[in-house]
Structure 1
Amino acid sequence: MQKIARLLQVTALAIPPMAMIAELSGNIKAGKMLSFLFVSACLFGIGYLLQQYTNPKL
C-alpha cells in the first residue's frame, strides 16, 4: 500500500511539467492544462492520505 501511495505522488509530480510543456508548444489550451494540474493535485492528495493511513503516527 505504501508503494502505491508513493507511485501516486510521483505520478502527480510528473504531470505538471508535461502539461506545461504541452501548453507552451500549443498542443493543448490553458484550460486543459489547468485541469491536468487539478488532477495532479488530487492524485498527490490521495497518495498523501493513503500514505498517512497506512503508516499512522502513534
Structure 2
Amino acid sequence: MLINFYNYPTILEARKFEFEFLAIPDDTHHWMKFSNGVKVSEATADFLKRKLIP
C-alpha cells in the first residue's frame, strides 16, 4: 500500500496514534548526514522516554 508522505499525520491522528514529526530540510533518508542522524536518534529516544516511562 502506497501512502503519500504528507498524509501520514492525518492517518495517524485518525487512528489515535501519538507521534511527533521531525522534518530535516535538504536531507534524505538514504543519504542522511551523520549530524542529522544523531538529531533523529536523540528525538526518537526522547519521545520514547516521555511516552513509555511512567
TM-score by length of 2: 0.46
The structure in which a higher percent of residues are helix is 1
TM-score by length of 1: 0.43
Specify which structure has the bigger relative contact order, considering alpha-carbon pairs within 8 angstroms and separated by 6 or more residues: 1
